[in-house]
Structure 1
Amino acid sequence: MLNDPIEACLRAGGVARTRTLRRAGVARFFFEEAVREGSLIRPRRGIYALPDTPAPILHALSHRAMLACSSAAHQFGLWMLEEDSPESPHVWAHPDRQTTRPLACTCNCHREHPVGRFTLTTVSALQCLVQIASCCGPETFLCALESARRRGVLSSAELIELRRLVPRPVRVLVDFSRSDADSGLETLVRYRLHLLGIECLTQMRLPGVGIVDLIVGDRLIIEADGSTHEGPARHRDRMRDAAALALGFVTVRLDTAMIVHDWPSAEAAILSALQLGLHESPFGVRVRAAV
């Protein structure tokens, strides 16, 4: 027999049922001893976890539940606009099963019927997005959805199923979503401009510049810069802007603070650029005048 409960639990992904450990060849004595020594945690009867298991997962397991909604989104690596409160994680429990959730618990418990393939600790990506669609704002849902499509955690069939499952007003966001958005910041800018009636080209490659986030009109580049655009990356961005200018493009750069916390200033800058005609090349102006 293996008799190493730590290794067996690690192979199972960090959290395992009793029967999983037994099938791995671990005698009950050894994983019970590991709990006594503190090298394993037992969040509830029949479930064992490594000590470094994230607290929200242990919280969910202790309630006979699993991570859900925005809390599960982080497990899938999705970009989230709204941050969870550590004291109030989102969990899901089967609607037909009793939970051990105490009355004083502050977690947000979802109880809808399951969809997609779950793990021991987390709902499916499909269920996660369905929950976000009902629980969070439209921008948060769209950012999470485009992040899921970009990361490949949602199949084409699941995207179709998602559209069927979300509330009717949200379906337009599923149709609007893309799989090539480089970040949630880019998603926010594109969606907010769309609401203003301003359409963009996305993820366009320019010679000598590389791929840019958004292009409005013929030549106005909008770049949504996150935390990865600091330090040496900042210099590379300026070099890209110079190369784009040499091609006749004008670049407006927006950082996280402007997009998330001061959108009116960002919107005013973009609208001013449009009013000045910075999005139109001389050739584009002539073409539109001739139509």
Structure 2
Amino acid sequence: MSKTKGTKAKCVTGSGIYELKDGTLLSDTGTNQFQVVEKAEVNLFDKNDVNELLEKYSFEPEIEKDILKYSQRAVKQNNKKSKAVIYVPIVPLTKSTTISYYSYGGYDLKDTKIDLYNQETDVITLIQGTASKSFVDGVTQGIFSIGGIFSKAISIFGSGMSLLDSIEDVIGVVTGTSSSNYAKTHLQYDAHTKYTSVDWGYGYETSMITQSLYARKEQFEFNMTTSSGNVVDTTERSIYEWEESDDYDNPAPEAIINTGFVKDYRIGYEIGDYTFEF
């Protein structure tokens, strides 16, 4: 659907979804066209709900794999409120027999979008054992990457502060080390992932994956040694950072370059020696 025909629609999400007066949902492709989509909500904790979704829609393998991954994580975390909102491209009812969602550069394309809200990563162990104190003293920032390439670094604890400083704000001075010491972490976030597929002449295949991420909070659990002995506690820091793939709002120009593999520009977040992927 061309944007040049006076289309009037209201924005219903902050990530490029609009609604016409008749209830039709449109996705902004970043070109001069909208794409008609259908909204599907799924409880990722509910395996039956997930299976019904996968039976209803013929997703590309990369999309189905990620939906199953998100579902498995929700079950593992016992997160009964884990939800995905998926905007599935559909073909408008016309007399045309050609399946075309939108076009660019002589190719037919479609964007499938998965929105995840109030998610948590798995808890990972950053360090354990007697080296824990010196390790957390060196953790001062988080690093965002896009497609594995450095994007930006952020100070998590405040200028010049480390994870050790944050820990000592909670339990007092860490005076020694122990084989029982450790530091663990996990993140709270929202993620909007876009899968752009191109019809190369033999059906649609995923060409590019882009992402917009909102990192909310990072929580650390630790076991550290004080003058009173080993103490287990937590410290939490707000992040409130947006990070987005360069072509998230307009993936078509790069998506139509056929490289023979999926161009994956999802966000990574590195803390210590570990990188979270979303």
Name the TM-score, length of structure 2 as normaliser.
0.27
Whichever structure has more strand as a proportion of its residues is 2
Q: Computing the radius of gyration over CA atoms, which structure comes out larger, 1 or 2? A: 1
Whichever structure has more helix as a proportion of its residues is 1
Instruction: Indicate the structure whose relative CO is greater, using CA pairs within 8 Å and at least 6 residues apart.
Output: 2
Name the TM-score, length of structure 1 as normaliser.
0.26
